[in-house]
Amino acid sequence: MCYRYANGWADRTTLHRWKSYAQKENIGYQPITIRYDHKNNYIVAKVGDAFVPINTLAKMTAFSVEDFKEWIFGKNPQESKLFKGIVIHFTSFRY
């Protein structure tokens, strides 16, 4: 399984390195799932156990909601899609 992050894709080895580094440096991460419903043009995001508004995630990445949707699901997705990955935190903030 691969995980998407800001600059591309990470395999399990890279993810393991992040986890090891996170334990040493007190950096945290949370799983993220984003579902896009093409029929209703609706996005639902869950980070850890918390449902997070998509505009909040877009703002945290400095994207508009439309740009964030395109970054995750591609330009003009024609079907419903599911994204799974991780959010890496470099501060004590958690969702």
DSSP string, 46-66: EETTEEE-HHHHHHHTT--HH
Question: In this structure, are residues 38 and 30 in contact, taking their beta carbons and an 8 Å threshold?
Answer: no
**Residue-level pLDDT at 27:** 79
Residue ranges for the chain with pLDDT beneath 50: 1-4, 6-7
pTM > 0.85: yes or no: no
Q: What span, in angstroms and rounded, lies between the C-alpha atoms of 35 and 47? A: 12
**Residue-level pLDDT at 2:** 42
Contacts of 22 (CB under 8 A, 6+ apart): 28, 29, 88
